[in-house]
Structure 1
Amino acid sequence: MNPTKVVRERIKTLTDLPNIGKAGAADLNLLGIEKPSDLVGRDPYEMYAELCIIRGCRQDPCVIDVFMSVTRFVGGDDPKPWWTYSAERKKAMQGRREA
């Protein structure tokens, strides 16, 4: 859903979450996430790695940004567009490559 249209009190399904449509909900379902509360405490990088394994190929790294947006939202942050997290992800991924 478009982050500007999200109303926290009306979140019932995965597609009610910011930045999650049918395809994103399907990805979350593959990870065993069936409802928004299942995202509490989840690590977006671990979710991404697991999704890559399940799908059998590397997914677009922007999926991490989407996962960051929803895990942060269920943790209490305001809804934000997924691309808000791109710079943070790129910096974190660079650090992981250098390690």
Structure 2
Amino acid sequence: MNPEKVDRARLHKLTDLPNIGPALADDLRLIGIERPLDLVGRSPVELYQALSSITGTRQDPCVLDVFISITRFMEGEEPRPWWHYSTERKKMSHT
């Protein structure tokens, strides 16, 4: 969902999260994330690595940006576009 349209009071399905559309919602389900609350306390890097492992393909690094955005959102940060986290991701050594 577009971060500007996210309503924290209405987080029922994965597509209610910022930056998550149907395709990424399917990817999250592949790694055992069924609902937004399943993201609480999760590491975006571990989610990214799990998705790469289960699909047998190194995911686009921007997927990690999205995972950072949704885990931070679930920790209480404001919804932000995924590219807000690109600089932070680029400083990480694993991508």
Fold shared per TM-score above 0.5:
yes
Cα deviation 1:15-44 (Å, max 9, x = unaligned): 000000001100100110000000000000
Identical counterparts, % of pairs:
62
Cα deviation 1:46-99 (Å, max 9, x = unaligned): 111111110011110100000000000011000000000000000113xx58xx
Q: Name which one, 1 or 2, has greater alpha-carbon Rg.
A: 1
Counting matched residue pairs gives 95
In structure 1, the residue matched to 2:75 is: 75
* TM-score normalised by length of structure 1: 0.92
Q: Does 1:91 align with 2:73?
A: no
In the alignment, the residues of structure 2 paired with residue 47 and residue 11 of structure 1 have an alpha-carbon distance, to the nearest angstrom, of: 20
For structure 1, list consecutive stretches of 5 or more residues without a partner in the other structure.
none
Task: Letter of the 1:90 partner, please give it.
Answer: K
Q: CA RMSD in A?
A: 1.1
In the alignment, the residues of structure 2 paired with residue 40 and residue 78 of structure 1 have an alpha-carbon distance, to the nearest angstrom, of: 15
Task: Letter of the 1:18 partner, please give it.
Answer: P
* TM-score normalised by length of structure 2: 0.96
In structure 2, the residue matched to 1:10 is: 10
After superposing on structure 2, the runs of 4+ consecutive aligned residues of structure 1 that deviate more than 2 Å are none
In the alignment, the residues of structure 1 paired with residue 49 and residue 34 of structure 2 have an alpha-carbon distance, to the nearest angstrom, of: 18
In the alignment, the residues of structure 1 paired with residue 53 and residue 41 of structure 2 have an alpha-carbon distance, to the nearest angstrom, of: 21
- Structure (1/2) with the larger helix percentage: 1
